[in-house]
Amino acid sequence: MKALLATVLLASTVLVPSPSRVLKFLDPVERFAPGVASTRYDEVRLTLSPDGNTALWFSRNRPGGPGGHDIWISRRDGERWRPATPAPFNTPGRDFDPAFSADGRVVYFCSDREGGQGGDDLYRVSMDGDGRFGHPENLGSAVNSAADEFAPMLSPDGRTLLFSSDRAGGAGGHDLYSAGMQDGEAAPARRLPGDINTAAQEFDATFLDDGHTVVFARALDFGKAPVRQFIASAYGGRYGAGQPLPSPVNEPTGDSYGAMLDGSHPRTLTYSARRPGGEGLDLYRVRYRIEPP
């Protein structure tokens, strides 16, 4: 009898997932800056400054930059966005996954430039009030490794850095990690606790405005399996495995990833998706409301 009870308890522990909060999308989705940011090339991970006047994203195949992966920038001029140009801190290598801090003073991004820890590393670069960028700084060995680190994103309160890595010791492929931040310095990174990391690839994560709910991408294999976006919430400090987001973020066909909290509009999510009729990955924005599970 005791053995049977133990089996039942174990099964209930394994089979009952942690609840995830739900995103309800409020408006029709907006394709961002057609012809400037959303073009016939692949455009990924749109991030906007808090004043809404500067947009950054990256493309892996748009010509005109110094490398194969480049970060692009556009400035708002009234109601229009000026023609996009490569960001001045690009290199001939891979530069991608930009993300503004909540105060707009720092941009976090990834690069495989010389002087890193190995592979793709996490960097940051300051931006002053006139929109000029400083010198990029590697975030160091507390968060970077000899493997690849992707998609850095600082929480709205500035205390937690969220990113993904395929370093040794993970659940499989890329996993989601976080690191505490204090006075600009990162504490040693740890995998997000709970069931959120699986044998699949988990990457491109963003905190939502509540600071503990995350939206992230999951795929069984990069380039060989559909990419879908999920939402997961922390209960008791642990994240559930996540629930897939509804339309328009996830659709029956076409990849969806590169989510980012829009710093210029309350409770607005940006993301990248490949949709029927398009020529590449385009950038989108949509307002949301967080609801209980």
Q: Which residue has the higher pLDDT, 72 or 279?
A: 72
How many Å separate Cα 124 from the centre of its chain?
15
Instruction: Please give the DSSP secondary-structure letter assigned to residue 90.
Output: -
CA proximity to 292, closest of 246, 237, 231, 238: 231
pLDDT score of 4 more than 70: no
pLDDT in tens, 209-238: 999 899 999 998 877 778 999 999 998 889
pLDDT in tens, 102-126: 999 999 999 999 999 999 999 999 9
Count Cα neighbours of 232 within 13 Å in the Cβ-side half-sphere.
Answer: 26
Banded model confidence at residue 25, pLDDT cuts 50, 70, 90:
very high
Length reported for the chain: 293
CA distances from 49 to 22, 73, 247 (A): 26, 11, 26
Q: Which CATH architecture has domain 19-291?
A: 6 Propeller (2.120)
Q: Residues 164, 205: contact at Cβ < 8 Å?
A: yes
Domains in the chain: boundaries: 19-291
Banded model confidence at residue 18, pLDDT cuts 50, 70, 90:
low
Instruction: Give the number of other CB atoms < 10 A from CB of residue 233.
Output: 24
Least confident window among 128-132, 155-159, 169-173, 192-196: 169-173
pLDDT attached to residue 19: 64
3-state SS class at 58: strand
Per DSSP, the residues of 161-206 read EEEEE--TTSSSSSEEEEEEEETTEEPPPEEPSBSS--SSEEEEEE
| Rounded distance between C-alpha atoms, residue 120 and residue 104, angstroms | 23
pLDDT attached to residue 220: 86
Partnered with residue 257 across adjacent β-strands are 272
3-state SS class at 220: coil
